Amino acid sequence: MEKFKSLSVVAWGCLLLCLASPAVGAGSISYNRDIRPILSDDCFHCHGPDQKTRKGKFRLDVREDAVAKGAIVPGKPGESGIIQRLLTKDPEELMPPPEAHKTVTSAQRDMLRRWIAAGAKYEKHWAYVPPVKPVLSSDRGAVDALIRRRLNEVGLRPALPADRRTLARRLYFDLIGLPPGAGDVEAFVQDKSPAAFAGLVEKLLASPQFGERMAIGWLDVVRFADTIGYHSDNPRNVWPYRDYVIKSFNQNKPFDQFTREQLAGDLLPGSTAEQRVASCFNRLLLTTEEGGAQSKDYEARMLTDRVRAVSAVWLGQTVGCAQCHDHKFDPIKQRDFYALGAFFADIEEPIIGRRESGLLVPDEKQVAELARLQAEVRSLETGFNSPHPECEEAFIKWNREQSQIALEDSRWTSLTPARAVAAGGDKLQIQSDQSVLVAGKKKPETDVYTLDLTNFPSAIQALRIEALPSESLPGKGPGRAGNGNFVLSRVLASIEHTNGASDPLQFVSARASFEQSMAADQTPNKLWSAASVIDPQAKGEFTGWAVLPEVAKPQQIILDCGRLLALNRGDTLKVVLEQNHGHGNHTLGHFRLSATTNTEALRGPFVFPLAKEIDDVLAVPSGKRDQAQRDRVWEYFKKHSPEFATLRTNLAGARKTLTAYEDSLPHCLVSVTNAQPRTVRVLPRGNFLADTGDIMQPALPAYLAGPETKSGGRRLTRLDLADWLVSRENPLTARVVVNRLWKQFFGCGLSKVVDDLGAQGELPPNQPLLDWLACEFMDSGWDLKHMVRLMVNSQAYQQTSVSPKKLRDRDPLNREIAAQSRWRLDAELVRDNALAVSGLLVEKIGGPSTKPYQPEGYWENLNFPARSYEASTGPDQYRRGLYAWWQRSYLHPSLQAFDAPTREECAAERNRSNIPQQALVLLNDPTYVEASRALAVRMLKEGGADPSTRLAWAWRQVLNRTPRPDEIKSVQALLDKELAEYRADKTAAQALLKTGQNTTPPESDPVELAAWTNVARVLLNLHETITRS
C-alpha cells in the first residue's frame, strides 16, 4: 500500500472500498447486492438448496448447475433459459409460474440480463464470508470515515450536529435509559470543553444503570420471562439470571466470556455460582405442565426452541424452517438443525411438568445466615452421632426385648403378593416391607381385595393379617374410614394348583390382638369379633372384625387351618379380603400377610415387631451380629427411643429451620449436564412420532464450520459450541452483535433485518462499516463498552435527527445515516421516564421481579391454578420497567401496549407502534396518574410560587427546556379551568389524589394539587416526552 500514500483521502477511500467490497461501485452489478435477492425471492423456492421441493432437477443457487442446464449462458443473456422463461408469453413456460404469485419487475429482469452479459459471476453469501477489516489510514474516526465515504458515493452530505440539550437527552436514553436531570443538561450545555461529550459518555458508561439499559435488549433476544409460557404458564425461578446479565454489562465482561458462561457456564472448569446462574440461558425456553402432553412432542418442541434461540442470539439466522426440511434460501440442512439441537440433549430437566427450584443463589448476608444455620445442624448432628454411654443401659434392655419379639416374629414368613387387585379400582401398592398400601381416590364403600401369593414356604398352617398404621391414612389407619377404623367381613383363601384345581382353606379358629366392643349392639356377641371373619353364623351382613378405638397402631388377626397343608412349587395361594360394611369407607388401608407352620407361633402371644427394616437384624442374637448389624440396631434405637427424643427434636428442628430458610432464598434454574444425553433423531417433516430418522451427534453447522468438526471422536459439548460461536472462524456472531448494538443507537441495523443475516436478509448498504465494527469488536477482545464508545462518540451519532425533506425522500428509512433518527422510547423506558421525572423512581438494581399496578381480572383466563395479581407494595412498586413480572401469556398490559414482546420467542426487534391503547395507558393507568400527582407535588413545592415559574420548572424537569409561549398559553387555560372545577367539586379533587399507594403530603391543598395533577398528566403524555430524538 506504500505507493498510494500520496493519494488524497477521498481517492483513498474509493480505492479501499473497492478492495474491501468489490461489489459496491456505480454501474457494476453485484451478485450479492443485486442478483441474489431476486433469485432468492423468486426462484430458490423451487430451484434452490432444498432438494425435496426442487423442480426440474436443477438449481440456480449453484453456478455450475445453472450453467450446465443452460439456465445461464455466461455472456449471452438472450440464450440463457432463465431470461427466456422470464419473458415468454406462454403461461406453461413462464417463470415464476403464475400460481406462485411472484412478480419479477422489468428493472429486475434488466438487472439479470446485464449480470449474465457481464459473465454471471456468483459470490458466496456475504455474511458467510468472515469479515475483513477495511484498511484505513487510522482507526481513529473509522466509523465517520466509512460513513462519509459511503455518503460521498451516494451523493449525500451529513446533517448538522444536534444541539447539546438534545444530545444529552439522546445519550441518557440510549446509554442508561433514564432522562437526564435538569441540572445534568444545564451543566453539559455550559461545558464548552471539547472533551465534554466524551466525558459524559464515560460517566454514563460507568453508571450502574448502563447495565440495566443494555439488559433490556438482551433479555428480549434470549426470551427471558418469569413464567413457563405454555398452558398454565406457571412461574419458574430465573430472575438471578437477569441480574447476572445486568452485572455482566456493568462489569464490561468480554462478550466471548459472556457467551461461554451462558451456554456452558456449568461446564467451565471450576465453575462459579455466577457462571452456573449464567447457564440459566439454556432453561429460558417454553415448557408445559399440561396433563396429556406427550413427552416426545415436547422433547421436539424444546429442541427446536433452543436451536432457534442459539441461531437468533448469536448467528442471526432464521433456521426454524429446517426443523422440517432443508432451508429453502440458505444452505442450512435439516441435519445441521438437529445436530445443533443435540448440543443441548445433555441438559437435565423434566420434559413435561413443574420445573425444579434450581440452584440456591444467596447474597452475601444470606450466605452468612445460611452458614450459621448449617453449623447449627452440623453441631447437633455431631452431638447425636457421638457415643452416648448414658443410654447404654436402656439400649441393652430394649435390645433384649426387641430381639425376643423379633425372634418370635421370625416364625412368621411374610408373603409378598405377586398380584394385588382391589375390585373397587383403587391401587394396592406393594411396599418394600412387603406390606400393601391402598391408594387412590375412588374410596368405594365396600371393596374386595384379591391377593395372589407365590413366595410362601413349603407348607402352611396359619395365616396372619397385620393391619398396619400409616401416615397416609385418615387417623393414621389402619383403615380408610375417617377415624382409622376398618371392618374386615370375611377372609377366603385357597390353594390354586398349576393344573387348575383349587383347594379352599378351611379356617377352624380366628383370634385377634383386639376386638372392637364399641357400637356393637347389632353384632352377635356384642363384638366386632375376629370369629366373624371365618364364621358365617357369627356375623350379620355388615359386620366383621374391627378395632375402634385401638386404631393408629398395628393390630393382628390369626386364622388357623387346624392342620398343616403342603404347598407345591408353582401353586398360588389366593387370599380374598371382603369388606362389606358399606358406609364410611370401612376398608383396610394398610396391611401385610404372613404365614407359619409353627404351632407355638400361632398360639403364642401376639408380637408386634417394631419395623420390618430392622426385624431381620434383631432376630440375630446380639453376640452374633457383625459391626454393620450392630450399627444398624444402634441407629434404629437412636431414631426411635425416648432417651434420644430431645436430641432428635432439636436436630429435626434445626434441619427444618435450615430448609425453610433455604426455601425462602432465591433460586435459579441452571444447566446441569447428564452423562446420558437424550437421543436426538432427525424428525422427518418434523414429525415427532417418527423414530426412523438418523441419530444425530452434536455438530457445528456444516455450512458455516465446514463439513467435519475436529473432535477426535469426543462428543462435542455446549462449551465447544460456545467456543466456536466466538471464534474467528465463525463469520456471524460479531456482525450480529454489533448490528444489534448499532440499532440501539441509530434506530436501524446496518443490515436492516437484524434477526436474519442470511440470504433473505439485507446486504448492508455500508458493509465495510459493519465489517470494520465486527472486526474491531473481535480485535478489542469482544469489548462491548469499547464498541459503544466508538458508536456514540462518532459525529454520525451526534447529528441532528431533524432532517430536510430532500433527504427523507432520498432515504426514507435513514439507511445512509446522513442524519440521526428519532423514535418512541421502549416500553420499559416510557415507564422509567415517568417515574424518574416525578421523583418516584426507586433506583435499586436487581432482585425478584416486581409487580406494577395492573387492572383487576386481567389474569382471569389463566388457570391451573387460577391466580390473582398482587401489585408490589412499598419501594418495589416504583422500580424500573425491566424488573416487571414477565407473564408470557398475559404480559403486563401497559408494557404490551408499548410493544414489549411476550418473550415466547427470541425477539431481536420490537415493533414501534403508535396505537390508541398507548394513549389509554398514559392517560388512565394508575402508574401514570400517580406519577403525575407526584410531579404536581414537586411543582408546587420546588417550582416556585406562581404558575409560570412552576411550568418553567416542570418543563425543565421533564423536557430539559423552557416551555414555548403556546404551551404556556394552553396549559394555563387548562389549569384555570381545572382549578375552577375542582373548587366546585372538592370530593373529585380528593378522589384523584387517592390514586396509587403513594400518599400526598398532608399540608397540600387538594384543589390546587388536583388541578396541577392534570397539568402534569399533559406533560407526561406529550409526544416529545416519550420520544428519543
Partner 1 sequence: MNPHPELRQFLAQRQTRRTFLGRTSQGIGALALASLLNPRLLAASSAARKDKWTGAAYPLDYPQKVKRVIWLSMAGGPSHLETFDYKPKLTKMHGEAMPASFTEGKQIAQLQGQKLVCFGQQHGFKKFGRNGTEICELFPHIGSVLDDICLIRSMTTEAINHDPAHMFMNTGSQIAGRPSMGAWSTYGLGTVSENLPGFVVLTSLGRGGQNQPIAARQWAAGLLPSRFQGVHLRGKGDPVLYLSTPSGVTHTQQKDVVDTINAINAKYDTIVDDPEIATRIVQYEMAFKMQTSVPELMDIKPEGAKTLELYGCKPGDGSFASNCLLARRLAERGVRFIQLYHKDWDHHGGLKDGIKFKAEEIDRACMALITDLKQRGMFEDTLIVWAGEFGRTPMSQGGDGRDHHNAGFSIWLAGGGVKPGMVYGATDELGYAAVENPIDVHDLHATMLRLMGVEHKKLSVKFQGLDVRLTGIAGKTIDGILT
Q: Are 973 and 1006 in contact (CB under 8 A)?
A: no
Residue 321 CB, shortest distance to partner 1, in Å, is: 7
For residue 933, which of 833, 878, 1011, 841 has the smallest C-alpha distance? Answer: 1011
Candidates 172, 993, 1000, 1012: give the one binding partner 1 (CB under 8 A).
993
Tell me if 503 contacts partner 1 by CB under 8 A: no
Tell me if 626 contacts partner 1 by CB under 8 A: no
- DSSP code per residue over 720-781: HHHHHHTSTT-SSHHHHHHHHHHHHHHSS-SSS-TT--STTS---TTHHHHHHHHHHHHHTT
Within residues 848-867, the interface with partner 1 by CB under 8 A covers: 855-858, 860-864
d(CA 314, CA 528): 76
For residue 210, which of 219, 201, 198 has the smallest C-alpha distance? Answer: 201
- Distance of alpha carbon 783 from its chain centroid, rounded? 27
Contacts 24+ apart (CB under 8 A), 740-743: 740/217, 740/221, 740/908, 741/784, 741/787, 741/788, 741/791, 742/770, 742/773, 742/791, 743/909
Tell me if 443 contacts partner 1 by CB under 8 A: no
* Interface map 748-767 toward partner 1 (x if CB under 8 A): x----x-xx-xxxx------
Q: Which is nearer to partner 1, 416 or 1013 (CB)?
A: 1013
Within residues 665-694, the interface with partner 1 by CB under 8 A covers: 689
Tell me if 198 contacts partner 1 by CB under 8 A: no
Q: How many CB atoms lie within 10 A of CB 148?
A: 21
d(CA 119, CA 650): 88
Residue 777 CB, shortest distance to partner 1, in Å, is: 23
Residue 219 CB, shortest distance to partner 1, in Å, is: 16
Backbone dihedral angles phi then psi of residue 363, each to the nearest 5 degrees: -85, -175
Q: Which is nearer to partner 1, 402 or 1025 (CB)?
A: 1025
Tell me if 886 contacts partner 1 by CB under 8 A: no
Tell me if 917 contacts partner 1 by CB under 8 A: yes
Tell me if 154 contacts partner 1 by CB under 8 A: no
Tell me if 989 contacts partner 1 by CB under 8 A: yes
Strands of 739-892, DSSP E: 823-824
* Interface map 282-321 toward partner 1 (x if CB under 8 A): ----x-x-xxxxx--x---x----------------x-xx
* Interface map 59-98 toward partner 1 (x if CB under 8 A): ----------------------------------------
Q: Which is nearer to partner 1, 290 or 613 (CB)?
A: 290
Candidates 69, 974, 998, 1008: give the one binding partner 1 (CB under 8 A).
974
Q: Which is nearer to partner 1, 114 or 824 (CB)?
A: 824
Tell me if 389 contacts partner 1 by CB under 8 A: no
Strand partners, 668: 359
Tell me if 889 contacts partner 1 by CB under 8 A: yes
Q: How many CA atoms lie within 13 A of 272 on its CB side?
A: 5
Q: Which is nearer to partner 1, 878 or 898 (CB)?
A: 898
Residue 909 CB, shortest distance to partner 1, in Å, is: 9
Candidates 923, 944, 1004, 1008: give the one binding partner 1 (CB under 8 A).
923
Within residues 340-379, the interface with partner 1 by CB under 8 A covers: none
- The one-character DSSP state at 31 is I
Candidates 766, 877, 894, 1000: give the one binding partner 1 (CB under 8 A).
894
Residue 265 CB, shortest distance to partner 1, in Å, is: 27
Q: Are 760 and 40 in contact (CB under 8 A)?
A: yes
Stretch that binds partner 1, among 23-31, 515-523, 722-730, 902-910 (CB under 8 A): 902-910
Maximum C-alpha span of the chain: 125
Candidates 893, 953, 998, 1008: give the one binding partner 1 (CB under 8 A).
893
Tell me if 619 contacts partner 1 by CB under 8 A: no
Tell me if 1021 contacts partner 1 by CB under 8 A: yes
Q: Which is nearer to partner 1, 98 or 706 (CB)?
A: 98
Backbone dihedral angles phi then psi of residue 682, each to the nearest 5 degrees: -65, 130
Q: Which is nearer to partner 1, 789 or 961 (CB)?
A: 961
Contacts 24+ apart (CB under 8 A), 675-678: 675/346, 677/342, 677/345, 677/346, 677/715, 678/299, 678/345, 678/346
Candidates 101, 365, 583, 710: give the one binding partner 1 (CB under 8 A).
101
Candidates 612, 926, 940, 953: give the one binding partner 1 (CB under 8 A).
926
- The one-character DSSP state at 442 is -
Tell me if 329 contacts partner 1 by CB under 8 A: yes
For residue 853, which of 931, 963, 744 has the smallest C-alpha distance? Answer: 931
d(CA 67, CA 83): 13
Residue 43 CB, shortest distance to partner 1, in Å, is: 14
Candidates 890, 937, 943, 958: give the one binding partner 1 (CB under 8 A).
890
Residue 602 CB, shortest distance to partner 1, in Å, is: 42
Tell me if 990 contacts partner 1 by CB under 8 A: yes
Tell me if 52 contacts partner 1 by CB under 8 A: no
Residue 791 CB, shortest distance to partner 1, in Å, is: 17
Stretch that binds partner 1, among 127-135, 584-592, 719-727, 977-985 (CB under 8 A): 977-985
Candidates 904, 934, 936, 938: give the one binding partner 1 (CB under 8 A).
904
Q: Which three cell numbers stand for residue 329?
A: 434460501
Q: Which three cell numbers stand for residue 560?
A: 388357623
CA angle 171, 172, 178 (to 5 degrees): 155
Q: Are 1016 and 933 in contact (CB under 8 A)?
A: yes
Tell me if 877 contacts partner 1 by CB under 8 A: no
Stretch that binds partner 1, among 114-122, 504-512, 665-673, 987-995 (CB under 8 A): 987-995
Q: How many CB atoms lie within 10 A of CB 870?
A: 8
Q: Which three cell numbers stand for residue 21?
A: 467490497
Within residues 934-963, the interface with partner 1 by CB under 8 A covers: 961-963
H-helix or E-strand spanning residue 638:
helix 627-640
Candidates 639, 994, 997, 1005: give the one binding partner 1 (CB under 8 A).
994
Candidates 142, 162, 619, 1007: give the one binding partner 1 (CB under 8 A).
162
Tell me if 192 contacts partner 1 by CB under 8 A: no
Burial 274-307 (b: 16+ CB within 10 A, else e): ebbbbbbbbbbbbbbbeeebeeeebbbbbbbbbb
What length does the chain have?
1029
**160 to each of 525, 657, 692, 788, 820, how far by Cα in Å?**
110, 66, 64, 22, 10
Tell me if 733 contacts partner 1 by CB under 8 A: no
Q: Are 298 and 289 in contact (CB under 8 A)?
A: no
Residue 480 CB, shortest distance to partner 1, in Å, is: 21
For residue 807, which of 797, 798, 820 has the smallest C-alpha distance? Answer: 820
- DSSP code per residue over 90-101: -TTT-SS-GGG-
Within residues 225-244, the interface with partner 1 by CB under 8 A covers: 229-233
Candidates 146, 201, 531, 819: give the one binding partner 1 (CB under 8 A).
819
| One-letter amino acid for residue 879 of the chain | R
Number of residues that bind partner 1 (CB under 8 A): 125
**996 to each of 339, 836, 840, how far by Cα in Å?**
53, 16, 11
